[in-house]
Amino acid sequence: MTFPWLTTLIVVPALGAVLTALVPRGLEVTAKKLALFIALVTAVLTVIATVAFVRNGEPVQFVEQYAWVESFGVYWALGADGISISLIALTGVITPIVLTAMWREAEAERRNPKPFFALVLLLESMLIGAFAAKDVLLFYILFEAMLVPMYFLIGLYGGPQRRYAAVKFLLYNLLGGLIMLAAVIGLYVQAATQGRGTFLLADLVALDIPQSTQWWLFLGFMFAFAIKAPLWPFHTWLPDAAAEATPANAAYLSGVMDKVGTFGMIALALPLFPAAARDFAPAIVVLAVISILYGALLAIGQTDMKRLIAYTSISHFGLIVLGIFALNSQGAAGATLYMVNHGLATVALFVIIGFMIVRRGSRFVADYGGAAQPAPVLAGSLLFAGLAALGLPGLAPFVSEFLVLVGTYSRYRLAGVLATVGIILAALYILLLYQRTMTGPARESTAGFPDLRRRERLIVAPLVALLLALGFFPKPLLDVIGEGVQPVLAEVDVGDPEPLVPAAEGTVP
Amino acid sequence: MTAPTIEYAELLPMLIVFGAAVVGVLVEAFVPRRARHAVQLGLALAALIAAFVQVVRLSGTEIVGAEGAVAVDGPALFLQGAILLLSAVSLLFFAERRLEGGGDAFAPGASSLPGSEAERTLVAQRVLQSEVYPLTMFAVGGMLLFPAANDLLAMFVALEVLSLPLYLLAGMARRRRLLSQEAALKYFLLGAFSSAFFLFGMALVYGFAGSVRLSDIDATLGARVGQEGLLLAGVGLIAVGLMFKVGAAPFHTWTPDVYQGAPTPVTGFMAACTKIAAFGAMARIFYVAFGGLRTDWQPMFWVIAILTMVVGAVVALTQNDVKRMLAYSSIAHAGFVLIGVVAADELGTASVLFYLVAYGFATVGAFAVVTLVRDAGGEATHLANWAGLGRRSPLVAGVFALFLLAFAGIPLTSGFVGKLAVFSAAIDAGAVLLVIVGLVTSAIAAFFYVRVIVLMFFTEPAPEGPTVAVPSAGTTVGIAVGVAATVALGILPGPVLDLAQQAATFVR
């Protein structure tokens, strides 16, 4: 037994949240500093853990397992594979950036900023826990519980329609979660009838579930993940939530938290229900392609910048899901890498738009124009983040997009072609956004735009650096991820593009 | 003819509580008025604690005592322990005197006409009504006996002993007395009806089996062919009586009115403890006596469970009074517990036991929070008054939000573990449809719980809004117990789940 990395990574932010909440009234700045300090400590710890993980080289590491509720077979079971560790690292690195971006946002709403910072730390703890969970119920509990802090973050600090957005967010996700709960219980009962009732992922993967049961359970899981990810037609909560949340919070929501949905697909739904995943893959691919095109088209038509970015996220989540359900190593590795890259690019876009909103006090494209002249660094940052999001070669998302498309094309040719169209549309919405807000003569409203301040540059710099680094040299991360997705694909076991499901397996005689 | 043998040691918890109730009546007669309140409260609390100690001492006992009338076994002891703890917490709320400026939640003279000169005099003299405590102790005694009763007669006696004091208590509110008296009358009339149903069903079952003992009824089930009509009618009528007590649809109509009209501490006590006792009795009678008829009564339970969940969750959406909303929420919860009852095996029993405890603590706590939000007219139960409570008093609003999240079944609260236990028992027993209805109604129910949270935290407070009163130490402790139980059962449910599983076997 070595150092319990994962428990530490869960406990430190959770403890930080409690400490931040306990800071007495009147010392709000201290509370913020404390929260940021803890987020930085967590970030350093995740980076150390990731480096340790890569240097060790084993496929699954940091395994911890303690009985939690013995009569139900629930375990505090944690472990990191390539997929988990890369998302944990993303969470760890993004959190302090987002907290720094929130520094002034909370005050802008004339609200006590303390709960804001405490809730983000709590959310971080739950996210890391969900990415590391090797027990299905533990995952489920965190998956559901993290709705509560996000609900308060949107509802307490957002824009004028925040109440509506927060309730919509919660109800959509709660409904998905409850359907998933039925499937989780169904899975448990399967385990109980085949020997021992347990929620341990490893034991559940080893079960031999009849195909028709697999279908229902798979659909139950996918329903929740498709809402969280979000996949068309379950996406409608995201634009509202992202538009009403403060920009930094929207960044955290779509950049990190929604990754739990796609993570659930690749890390739970595929290995638990391989036969069902094979059977439903074509249908899900269709939904994913619709998401890509629909998200991109709607993004082009948006007048609200935050809504625009939300729709681009829907489009990009479509690509991630497409890669996962291509069911081959390029697709899966590309999709996982895309989760990380999309997190970085979206967070960058949202925080930069947040800087613009702070200056102009409006989130509508039409209120900007010609801002590049007074604020060249701001404009450059927006362009850089935008180009990353649209998949410019040399920046991080390109590599993952390319892998997803290669993987898809080898199995679903038409889907691959249509997805590529989506990428062309991406260029359109990003460049239109840049053109309308930044280029041209400076308007009255933007003439006095101050350029990025020191704190803002500190936020943008690491994001730019990471996007560049992962764009030019993705190999270390890709190796880790590639190793992480291998066991999943082995479980699904799709050989050639024409999979013939063996008729004997799982069918009741 | 030998004298009947009574297992005094095993029946001690009930004897202590009934004894304390009788002594309480004597206290009313002989102790001077000024000292009465304190003496009654001390006596009641001491008795409850002593009885709880006895329950703990008896754990593991499995006997049928008192000539077959009372069973002391796992489910009975588990539920008795829960009832005793929750009653003790409720008594702390009964004794709250700071909120009403020296008075408590009860009318100083229940027989004085509302608005009369006599009432004003009593209020001015700061008279406290201490009969409340012996009445409560009688009710608690009945509740202890109800899930332990092993023959139909003892069960009926227990039902009446627990109900009659509650009818009185419901009518004793200090404020809005007419509403309270109306509630008491409604409760009494409908309760008397349901008792009659129960009694009639009992008679029919006796006609079939020739005995009122549960195990004897069980033994005759297969023996008499051709008279099932009598038996099934009896089972149906008994079910009506019990369904009334747990507040299951379509026998729920009294619940919102009574919950709203009764003094709030009594409502909390009633909502938690009556439900626990009645579900215990229901499980015992349907598992032990009618277990062989499972295929006959399960469809009926299915329909009632579905109806109860749907009615509770959907009608709660339209409520704008906190107490009524909690009443409908308690109806929906009765439906969830019924899912566990339908499972009709040990897993199901264990899940029901756990759910009742989890629900009981959250309910008692939630109603206690309701007593704290007040304006000039007493408790401000209209939901509009709760707007912005999170700004004014983050702690109270946060505690209430925690209870609501537990009711909604959000993970890391006791409500989630309870739902998980009940639903997994039901799926294990093949009741997938019930679980799906349960999940959909949970989602609907979540909407109105969330609505209250939105109101408390995301809405601007009204300028003339209510204030949050600072309660005395007793209420604070009681609410803290509710919070601690809700969180502990959500995060570390293991010990209580294990206990429920060990206690899940009925003695025959």
Which of A10, A71, A144, A199 would best serve as a mutation to test chain B binding (most B beta carbons within 10 A)?
A: A71
Decide if pLDDT at B413 tops 60: yes
Q: How far is CA B68 from CA A4, B50, B65, B214, in A?
A: 56, 25, 5, 9
pLDDT of B85 reads: 96
Least confident of A260-274, A484-498, B16-30, B283-297: A484-498
Q: Are the beta carbons of B361 and B453 closer than 8 angstroms?
A: no
Residue A429 three-state SS: helix
**B410, B436, B451: residue with CB nearest A182:** B436
Q: Are the beta carbons of B342 and B301 closer than 8 angstroms?
A: yes
Greatest distance between any 2 Cα atoms in chain B = 76
Name chain A contacts of B458, Cβ cutoff 8 Å: 155-156, 162-163, 166
Q: Is the minimum CB–CB distance between A156 and chain B shorter than 8 Å? A: yes
Element (DSSP H or E) covering residue B453: helix B432-458
**B410, B423, B450: residue with CB nearest A167:** B450
The reply to whether residue B410 touches residue A144, judged by beta carbons under 8 angstroms, is yes
Q: What gap in Å lies between CA B469 and CA A173, rounded to an integer?
A: 36
Domains of chain A, by residue range, sit at: 5-492
Q: Write down the mean pLDDT value for chain B.
A: 90
Q: From B450, which residue of chain A is nearest by alpha-carbon distance?
A: A167
Query: How far does the CA of residue A182 sit from the closest CA of chain B (Å)?
Result: 7
Peptide bond into A441 cis (omega under 30): no
Q: B378 falls in which pLDDT band (50, 70, 90)?
A: confident
DSSP B110: T
Q: Tokens in use for A451?
A: 């350029």
Which of A25, A66, A72, A156 would best serve as a mutation to test chain B binding (most B beta carbons within 10 A)?
A: A72
Query: How far does the CA of residue B292 sit from the closest CA of chain A (Å)?
Result: 24
Task: Write the burial class of residue B354 (CB in 10 Å: 0-12 exposed, 13-18 middle, 19+ buried).
Answer: buried
pLDDT of A340 reads: 92
Please report, rounded to a whole number, the percentage of residues in chain B having pLDDT higher than 90.
Answer: 57
pLDDT of A507 reads: 40
Q: Tokens in use for B387?
A: 């707007």
Q: Is the minimum CB–CB distance between A21 and chain B shorter than 8 Å? A: no
* A213 C-beta neighbours (distance < 10 Å), count: 16
Q: Is the minimum CB–CB distance between B472 and chain A shorter than 8 Å? A: no
Q: What are phi and psi of A198, to 5 degrees?
A: -155, 160
Q: Are the beta carbons of A487 and A59 closer than 8 angstroms?
A: yes
Q: What is the pLDDT of residues A82-115, one digit of tens each?
A: 899 999 999 999 999 988 888 776 565 567 788 8
Peptide bond into A233 cis (omega under 30): yes
Q: Are the beta carbons of A423 and A430 closer than 8 angstroms?
A: no
The reply to whether residue A72 touches residue B442, judged by beta carbons under 8 angstroms, is no
Q: Is the minimum CB–CB distance between A18 and chain B shorter than 8 Å? A: no
Residue B192 three-state SS: helix
Peptide bond into A230 cis (omega under 30): yes
Backbone region of residue B54 per phi and psi (left: phi > 0; alpha: psi in -120 to 50; beta: other values): alpha
pLDDT of B338 reads: 94
Decide if pLDDT at B382 tops 80: yes
Residue A355 three-state SS: helix
Least confident of A179-188, A332-341, B11-20, B219-228: B219-228
Q: What gap in Å lies between CA B225 and CA B92, rounded to an integer?
A: 54
Please choose, from the candidates A161, A446, A404, A445, the residue with its C-alpha nearest in 3D space to the C-alpha of residue A306. Answer: A161
Peptide bond into A450 cis (omega under 30): no
Residues linked to residue A67 through DSSP beta bridges, in sequence order? A75
Pairing mode of beta strands B63-65, A74-80: unpaired
First to last CA, chain A: 46
Q: Mention every residue, 6+ apart, whose C-beta is less than 8 A from residue B42.
A: none
The angle at the Cα of A143, spanning A140 to A145, to the nearest 5 degrees, equals 105
Decide if pLDDT at B368 tops 70: yes
Q: Mention every residue, 6+ apart, whose C-beta is less than 8 A from residue A52.
A: A5, A61
Q: Tokens in use for B331?
A: 């109806």
pLDDT of A107 reads: 61
**Dihedral of CA B100/B105/B110/B115: which sign?**
positive
Backbone region of residue A196 per phi and psi (left: phi > 0; alpha: psi in -120 to 50; beta: other values): beta
**A144, A152, A170: residue with CB nearest B457:** A152
pLDDT of A509 reads: 36
pLDDT of B1 reads: 61
The reply to whether residue A155 touches residue B454, judged by beta carbons under 8 angstroms, is yes
**B416, B428, B443: residue with CB nearest A192:** B428
First to last CA, chain B: 25
Q: What gap in Å lies between CA B466 and CA A288, rounded to an integer?
A: 51
pLDDT of A182 reads: 87
Q: What is the pLDDT of residues A440-485, one digit of tens each?
A: 887 777 777 888 888 888 889 999 999 999 989 988 888 888 888 8
Q: What is the pLDDT of residues A133-179, one digit of tens each?
A: 999 999 999 999 899 899 988 888 877 888 888 888 988 898 898 88
| Residue range B178-193: mean pLDDT, rounded | 92
Decide if pLDDT at A284 tops 80: yes
The reply to whether residue A68 touches residue B446, judged by beta carbons under 8 angstroms, is no
pLDDT of B199 reads: 95
What is the DSSP track for A133-179?
A: B-BHHHHHHHHHHTHHHHHHHHHHHS-TTHHHHHHHHHHHHHHHHHH
Q: What is the pLDDT of residues B57-68, one digit of tens each?
A: 998 889 898 888
The reply to whether residue B405 touches residue A178, judged by beta carbons under 8 angstroms, is no
Please choose, from the candidates A228, A309, A239, A251, the residue with its C-alpha nearest in 3D space to the C-alpha of residue A99. Answer: A251
Sheet containing B467-468: order of strands: B378-379, B373-375, B467-468
Q: Is the minimum CB–CB distance between B435 and chain A shorter than 8 Å? A: yes
Alpha carbon dihedral A288, A294, A295, A298, in 10-degree steps, equals 180
Q: What gap in Å lies between CA A268 and CA A491, rounded to an integer?
A: 11
Q: From A180, which residue of chain B is nearest by alpha-carbon distance?
A: B439
The reply to whether residue A155 touches residue B457, judged by beta carbons under 8 angstroms, is yes
Query: How far does the CA of residue B11 sit from the closest CA of chain A (Å)?
Result: 30
Place of tokens 């094979």: A278
pLDDT of B346 reads: 86
Q: Where are the alpha helices (DSSP H) in A57-146?
A: 82-102, 105-108, 113-132, 136-145
Q: Is the minimum CB–CB distance between A68 and chain B shorter than 8 Å? A: yes
Q: What gap in Å lies between CA A453 and CA A103, rounded to an integer?
A: 13
Q: A505 falls in which pLDDT band (50, 70, 90)?
A: very low
Query: How far does the CA of residue B93 sit from the closest CA of chain A (Å)?
Result: 29
pTM: 0.89
- Side-chain-side CA neighbours of residue A393 (13 Å): 2
Please choose, from the candidates A119, A142, A129, the residue with its C-alpha nearest in 3D space to the C-alpha of residue A39. Answer: A119
* B391 C-beta neighbours (distance < 10 Å), count: 17
Q: What is the pLDDT of residues A357-383, one digit of tens each?
A: 888 888 888 888 888 888 888 888 999
**B432, B447, B458: residue with CB nearest A162:** B458
Q: What gap in Å lies between CA A471 and CA A400, rounded to an integer?
A: 9
Q: Is the minimum CB–CB distance between B491 and chain A shorter than 8 Å? A: no
ipTM, 2 dp? 0.83
Q: Are the beta carbons of B181 and B111 closer than 8 angstroms?
A: no
Task: Write the burial class of residue B32 (CB in 10 Å: 0-12 exposed, 13-18 middle, 19+ buried).
Answer: exposed
Name chain A contacts of B436, Cβ cutoff 8 Å: 182
Q: Is the minimum CB–CB distance between A145 and chain B shorter than 8 Å? A: yes
Residue A62 three-state SS: strand
Query: How far does the CA of residue B404 sit from the closest CA of chain A (Å)?
Result: 12
Q: From B388, which residue of chain A is nearest by alpha-carbon distance?
A: A156
Gyration radius of chain A's alpha carbons: 22
Q: What is the pLDDT of residues A386-425, one digit of tens each?
A: 999 888 888 889 999 999 998 898 888 899 999 999 888 9
SS3 per residue for B322-382: HHHHHHHHHHHHHHHHHHHHHHCCHHHHHHHHHHHHHHHHHHHHHHHHHHHEEECCEECCE
Q: Write down the mean pLDDT value for chain A.
A: 86
Q: What is the pLDDT of residues B226-271, one digit of tens each?
A: 777 888 999 999 999 999 999 998 899 999 999 999 999 999 999 9
Q: Is the minimum CB–CB distance between A69 and chain B shorter than 8 Å? A: yes
| Top-ranked range on mean pLDDT: pick from A445-449, B83-87, B315-319, B429-433 | B83-87
Residue B65 three-state SS: strand
Q: What is the pLDDT of residues A55-72, one digit of tens each?
A: 887 888 888 888 888 878
Q: Tokens in use for B351?
A: 């899940």
Provide the angle, in degrees to the nearest 10, between the axes of the packed helices B322-343 and B254-261. Answer: 130
Least confident of A432-446, B87-101, B325-339: A432-446
Q: What is the pLDDT of residues B146-179, one digit of tens each?
A: 999 999 999 999 999 999 999 999 998 888 888 8
Q: What gap in Å lies between CA B333 and CA B415, rounded to an integer?
A: 10
Q: Tokens in use for A248?
A: 């930094």
* B324 C-beta neighbours (distance < 10 Å), count: 20
Q: Is the minimum CB–CB distance between B495 and chain A shorter than 8 Å? A: no
Residue B115 three-state SS: coil
Pairing mode of beta strands B373-375, B467-468: antiparallel
Q: What gap in Å lies between CA A78 and CA A64, rounded to an integer?
A: 5
pLDDT of A109 reads: 55
